[in-house]
């Protein structure tokens, strides 16, 4: 029978499990959130134990993030956000190629339809509207090529 951790490690474990119960976190996120509560060695010991028991998984965190955010963001923004969560490039690539993730142009088109619904016309007065729509899509992480295709002919399949 294993002895249960006591003292600081137990409270760190409880806090970490509580955070993981709300949503998947990467190891780097938990290190950052638990940092003020214990030493680096204590935190690493707790996180190692959580990884061994399967409660903590960077791969699962990356897949969950992509699944939850792919409809609103392009590949560039998804990659950036995953890197900021401490996910490695190999896991990012695997998460972005997971099944069920539709083509980027299709996702951009769906997002554009929900937000704008109509294509800006070719008049000079609508150049501002075209630029506004392009900036919106760019801020969501869609590539310039995707934005041009979409705004040039949004209904082409």
Query: What is the pTM for the complete model shown?
Result: 0.79
Say if 1 falls within a structural domain: no
Same structural domain for residues 64 and 86?
A: yes
Contact call for residues 36 and 4 (beta carbons, < 8 A): no
Q: Which of 9-13, 39-43, 126-130 is most confident?
A: 39-43
Same structural domain for residues 92 and 79?
A: yes
Say if 157 falls within a structural domain: no
Sign of CA dihedral 50, 100, 103, 155: negative
Q: Residue 133 belongs to what H/E stretch?
A: helix 127-139
Contact call for residues 149 and 88 (beta carbons, < 8 A): no
Same structural domain for residues 15 and 38?
A: yes
Task: Render 38-93 in DSSP notation, one character per residue.
Answer: S-HHHHHHHHHHHHHHTS--HHHHHHHHHHHHTTT--HHHHHHHHHHTT--HHHHH
Contact call for residues 56 and 74 (beta carbons, < 8 A): no
Same structural domain for residues 21 and 44?
A: yes
* Average pLDDT value over all residues in the chain: 85
Same structural domain for residues 122 and 146?
A: yes
Q: Tell me, what's the pLDDT at 101?
A: 63
The CATH number of the domain where 20 resides is what? 1.10.10
Tokens 């002919």: give the residue.
Answer: 153
* 111-124 average pLDDT score: 76
* 116-144 average pLDDT score: 82
Tell me which residue range forms the domain holding 125.
104-152
Same structural domain for residues 71 and 109?
A: no
Measure CA of the first residue to CA of the last residue in the chain; give whole Å. 61
Domain count, the chain: 3
Same structural domain for residues 30 and 66?
A: no
Task: Render 115-128 in DSSP notation, one character per residue.
Answer: HT-S---SSGGGHH
Q: Tell me, what's the pLDDT at 99?
A: 55
Say if 3 falls within a structural domain: no
Q: Tell me, what's the pLDDT at 32?
A: 93
Say if 114 falls within a structural domain: yes
Say if 2 falls within a structural domain: no
Which two structure tokens, joined as six digits, stand for 151? 């705004």
Predicted confidence (pLDDT) per residue in 59-107, tens digit: 999 999 998 898 889 999 999 999 999 999 999 988 888 755 668 888 8
Same structural domain for residues 65 and 88?
A: yes
């Amino acid at each position: 029978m294993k002895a249960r951790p006591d003292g600081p490690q137990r409270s760190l474990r409880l806090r970490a499990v509580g955070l993981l119960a709300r949503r998947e976190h990467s190891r780097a996120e938990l290190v950052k959130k638990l940092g003020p509560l214990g030493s680096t060695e204590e935190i690493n010991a707790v996180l190692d134990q959580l990884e061994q028991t399967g409660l903590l998984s960077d791969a699962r965190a990356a897949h969950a993030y992509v699944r939850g955010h792919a409809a609103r963001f392009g590949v560039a923004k998804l990659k950036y956000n995953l890197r900021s969560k401490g996910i490695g490039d190999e896991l990012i690539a695997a998460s972005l190629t997971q099944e069920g993730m539709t083509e980027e142009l299709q996702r951009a088109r769906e997002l554009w339809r929900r937000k704008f619904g109509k294509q800006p016309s070719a008049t000079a007065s609508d150049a501002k509207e075209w630029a506004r729509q392009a900036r919106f899509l760019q801020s969501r992480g869609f590539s310039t090529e995707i934005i041009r295709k979409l705004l040039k002919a949004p209904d082409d399949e």
